[in-house]
A and B are shown apart, each in its own frame.
Chain A
């Protein structure tokens, strides 16, 4: 008994060593993505297609019918299948948040599919650093690149190499309920001082001016990212986030102080710190709260079935600061959602072919669906598109630049530092100066 037990223990230990070495080895170790669609299928179909049959696995996040992108994905994949019948796309969809966990675990366990949707900036950086993602420069010709809008590749370029393709662009924008502004004889604010006046005026009439969810902290970050941009300007924000500068520069403190001022003025709902985004959106959609600063996808939300503010919404950029370096046409956001190819895929040609086809067509279809602004140059009939999306497209067509959201640009750990200290600033449990100190701790 004893002998057996020790033998078993040895076996377990041995096994563990092997396994943990697999777990930690670089991405270049043996590729084990199951070749479900066998490449060497000899029975080339009766049709005289010379190409060999290929099956590609594709994981993405657009599997819910409530998503504006749902129909677009379905259509683009169906079109692709028609055009390239020998390349079979096997989809698997997962809910957004769970997908992030799934894809990280799959990367760690070397179980990534051939093609997967991801996010540019900090999220994908560890994937790229560990060699999980294919650099696609060799597959991308200049003609293709020329069909993309400026900045389409910025967030998917790492160390000078392109690792993913984007299709749509999102930006932060201030969604305003025109009716409420008219009712209270107020103008849509263009400068920060006007914003403060508007906030005070609404407040005086018992209307909560803006909504935010303090529990889903990224919604607070939407506001602060924009304020930092208006204060410091795009280049400074980006270089500081990339750790080539300092949060101690006065522009950041200025943004933090102004943010704290808005909180102090009661610009946000009472108890917002405990509300989820689903809850905090409702008063805006019911026409009780006049302003919401959030991503351009909100245009879709405004036209949701149960929305009471359809056709009442106009959209502007965040008000500019008199003492700020960011201009009227500087926006937060950018082309982030992207498609990447597994570095270990057996079908690099087919996978990159699909990647390009998918992104270019998704750019058009998701714009038509009102989900994204296009990251490729597309010709479409805009009359059927959600009017707020069209307004956004016009607004951003004059954009001088897009500065990525902090929680997207930063890597995991720094993102958490940012979000957690921003929540504290929002609660008023730290001062703007302390907030800056916490941000600066990213440099340590």
Chain B
């Protein structure tokens, strides 16, 4: 009796896990489709993209779309600019937000609650309405047409998001860890840099991904704040492939493939960090 129940359980388990795996793979197929779509999109002409053969493989493989994107879209230079702007944005965002989040969750001061609300405010601002005011601010600081003209607003709009995530993660860390460290004579800076920062790896990886996406894909600020080819970013370069009355979507698709590859790499790299953190935690445990 007991034996057969066990067997039954086993069968059941295999059955359910079979279902779970098939569902996961079906979902995976749906989620992977956009990449396939983007890639085939980039090799088609407008008539294939907008005509009947929207989802299939290209009838005629238009590799020249890539040439158009790379040469006329000046993707090379713009790629470099995007990396500088995005890299700096991520770095600054992580450092200043992590510091702020620690103070906002753990430390005691009178204005703590209003301060939390203050950081949250940035999340609520509709970006389009901020365009002109931010432009005027940058202009008054004489920053228009520089990398900083993009880095500064990108950081500012990423901080609220980063602070929210970091505070979420910090508040789920038990206070005892810091308390015991403190007994050993650690300063507040020591607690922050030696205890908290290392525990934040999955959070830092997540915030990096989100900040990357935000900065890498941003278009409106990049169009308006930069009128000097030397500082233009990739999204602007890709957009400039669109003409007044005709848009060559295949070339735009090719530009977007080029722009998406780094995103995918950053994501794979960072999500590995998220996953690895469990192992690290267990070893320390």
> CB atoms of A and B under 8 A apart anywhere in the complex?
yes
List A residues at the B interface (Cβ < 8 Å): 1-2, 5, 18-19, 22-23, 32, 34, 57, 59, 61-67, 69-70, 92-96, 98, 101-102, 105-106, 108-111, 113, 278-279, 281-282, 285-286, 295, 297-298, 300-301, 304-308
Chain B: minimal CB distance from A160 (Å) = 30
Do A65 and B139 touch across chains, with their CB atoms under 8 A apart?
A: no
Within 8 A of A (CB), among B24-70: 45-51, 68
Q: Hey, what's the 0/1 contact readout for B215-242 against A, CB within 8 Å counting as 1?
A: 0000110011001110000000001111
* Residues of chain A contacted by B135 (CB below 8 angstroms): 105-106, 108-109, 111
- Contact A61/B244 with A105-B132, A279-B50 known, Cβ cut-off 8 Å: yes
Cα A109 to Cα B227 with chains together (Å) = 14
Task: Tell me which residues across on chain A come within 8 A of B241, comparing CB atoms.
Answer: 64-66
16 contacts between A and B (CB under 8 A): A19-B137, A61-B244, A64-B242, A65-B72, A65-B241, A65-B243, A66-B247, A92-B228, A94-B240, A95-B239, A105-B131, A105-B132, A109-B135, A279-B50, A301-B246, A306-B48
Which residues of the other chain, A, contact B229 by a CB distance below 8 angstroms?
A: 92
Which residues of the partner chain A approach B46 to less than 8 Å between Cβ atoms? Answer: 278, 282, 304, 306
Q: How far is the CA of A18 from the CA of B141 in the complex (A)?
A: 13
**Interface contacts beyond A111-B135, A295-B245: sample of 16 additional A-B pairs, CB < 8 Å, sorted by A:** A1-B110, A2-B110, A23-B133, A65-B72, A65-B241, A66-B243, A67-B245, A69-B244, A92-B227, A92-B228, A109-B132, A109-B139, A110-B139, A278-B50, A298-B245, A304-B46
Inside 8 A of B248's CB, which chain A residues have their CB? 64-66
Query: Could you say which residues of chain A place their CB within 8 Å of the CB of B111?
Result: 1, 5
A92 to B229, CA, bound (A): 7
Report the bound CA distance from A92 to B145 in whole Å: 12
Our pick among A59, A66, A308 for the contact of B246 (Cβ within 8 Å) is: A66
Alpha-carbon distance between A295 and B245 when the two chains are bound, in angstroms: 10
Q: A23-B132, A286-B47 are in contact. Are A106 and B224 (CB under 8 A)?
A: yes
* Given known A19-B140, A101-B223, A300-B245, contact A64–B228 (CB-CB < 8 A): no
B189 proximal to A (CB < 8 A): no
Query: Which residues in B have some Cβ–Cβ distance to A below 8 Å?
Result: 45-51, 68, 72, 109-111, 131-133, 135-137, 139-140, 144-145, 219-220, 223-224, 227-229, 239-249, 251
Known: A64-B240, A109-B139. A282 touches B245 (CB 8 A): no
Question: Among the listed A96, A102, A110, A306, which residue makes an inter-chain contact with B244, where contact means beta carbons less than 8 Å apart?
Answer: A96
- Establish whether residues B47 and A282, one from each chain, have CB atoms under 8 Å apart when the complex forms: yes
Across the interface, name the chain A residue whose C-beta is closest to B128. A101
With a cutoff of 8 Å between Cβ atoms, the chain A residues found around residue B243 in the complex are: 64-67, 70, 96
CB contacts (< 8 Å) of B72 on chain A: these are 64-65
A22 to B245, Cβ gap below 8 A? no
Which of A57, A65, A93, A295 makes the CB contact (< 8 A) with B68? A65
**In the assembled complex, which residues on chain B have CB atoms less than 8 Å from the CB atom of A306?**
45-48
> Do A301 and B245 contact each other (CB < 8 Å), given the known contacts A101-B224, A105-B132?
yes
CA distance A113 to B144 in the complex (A): 13
- In Å, the complex CA distance between A57 and B220 comes to 21
Tell me the dominant secondary structure on chain A's binding face: mixed
Contacts of A65 in B (CB 8 A): 68, 72, 241, 243, 248
Chain A residues within an 8 Å CB radius of B224: 101-102, 105-106
A98 touches B239 (CB 8 A): yes
Taking CB as reference atom, which chain B residue is nearest A70? B243
Candidates B136, B223, B240, B242; contact of A102 at CB < 8 Å: B223
Residues of chain B with a CB closer than 8 A to A66's CB: 241-243, 246-248, 251
Given A19-B136, A278-B46, A282-B46, also A67-B220 (CB < 8 A)? no
A19 to B51 Cα, complex, angstroms: 50
Would you call A57 and B227 a contact (CB within 8 A)?
yes
Cα–Cα distance between A391 and B183 once the two chains are bound (Å): 89
Q: Which residues of chain B come closer than 8 Å to A93, judged between CB atoms?
A: 240
Q: Which residues from chain A contact B249 at a C-beta distance below 8 Å?
A: 278
Known: A286-B51, A306-B47. A96 touches B139 (CB 8 A): no
C-alpha spacing A110/B247, complex, angstroms: 31
Q: How far is the CA of A113 from the CA of B240 in the complex (A)?
A: 19
Nearest B residue to A69 via CB reads B244
With a cutoff of 8 Å between Cβ atoms, the chain B residues found around residue A279 in the complex are 50
A297 and B245 form a contact (CB under 8 A): yes
Are A67 and B139 in touch, CB under 8 angstroms?
A: no
Considering the chains assembled together, what is the distance between the CA atoms of A305 and B251 in angstroms?
Answer: 14
Closest B residue, CB atoms, query A298: B245
Q: Which of B46, B51, B223, B239 has the most CB of A within 10 A?
A: B46
Identify which of B68, B133, B228, B240 contacts A63 (C-beta below 8 A).
B240
Closest 6 CB pairs of A and B: A67-B243, A64-B243, A66-B243, A306-B45, A306-B47, A282-B50
Asked if B223 contacts A282 (CB within 8 A), the reply is no
| Contact assessment for A23 and B136 in the assembled complex, using a CB-CB cutoff below 8 Å | yes
Of chain A, the residue at the smallest CB distance from B46 is A306
Give A106 to B225 CA distance when docked, in angstroms.
9
Which residue of chain A is the closest to B250 with respect to CB atoms? A306
Chain B positions within 8 Å of A63 at CB level: 240
Docked Cα-Cα span, A192 to B243, in Å, equals: 34
Q: Please name the residue on chain A nearest to B248 by beta carbon.
A: A66
